[in-house]
Structure 1
Amino acid sequence: MAYLNPAAGAARQGKQTAAVVNAVAATAIAAAGSTPTKAEYDALLADVNALRTKLNALLAAMRTSGQLAP
């Protein structure tokens, strides 16, 4: 959808960002006791790292399409 740029007085065409697939389902579960086990912590860490990777891919796609400053 085009919009009017009042400062320049010219119409600009928006660009579409490249597709980034959805994040997979979380693998971490609630801790069984008051202190998480190493396995519970590692599962949460893996989920956070996967989401970080997805977020970085989305930001890179937005920069490539010009929707976000480099």
Structure 2
Amino acid sequence: MTMAYLKPAAGRARQGTQAANQTDMAALTAAAAAGSTPTKAEFDAVVADLGRARTTINGLLAKLRAAGIIASS
């Protein structure tokens, strides 16, 4: 019995298609707080960074689902 990984055609049949490109997340804008309590601007920078990270992660998950790599539900 020949194993599937030794048969090039069988291996290609199992391969999926590549998912669409996902752009890298932009550089973080937040920095360590200057004092012991963050200012509103420092807090807002963290919130903005978190929003961009969420968008990037959700984009990656959507592309993995579209490529059939992970289940859609």
Indicate whether the TM-score tops 0.5. Answer: yes
1: CA distance between counterparts of 2:15 and 2:61? Answer: 20
Q: Secondary structure at the match of 2:45?
A: helix
Distance 1:27 1:47 in 2: 7
Question: What TM-score do the two structures reach when normalised by structure 1?
Answer: 0.82
- How many percent of aligned residue pairs carry the same amino acid? 55
Unpaired segments of 5 or more residues in structure 1? 5-9
CA distance in 2, matches of 1:62, 1:55: 11
Instruction: State yes or no: 1:16 paired with 2:18.
Output: yes
Structure 2 unaligned residues grouped into runs of 5+: 5-9
Structure 2-normalised TM-score?
A: 0.79
Q: How many angstroms does 1:14 deviate by?
A: 2.4
**Structure with greater strand share of residues:** 1
Equivalent residues, number: 63
More helix by share: 2
Spell out the pairing of 1:1-70 with structure 2 (5 A cutoff): 4=4, 11-70=13-72
Runs of 4+ off more than 4 Å: none
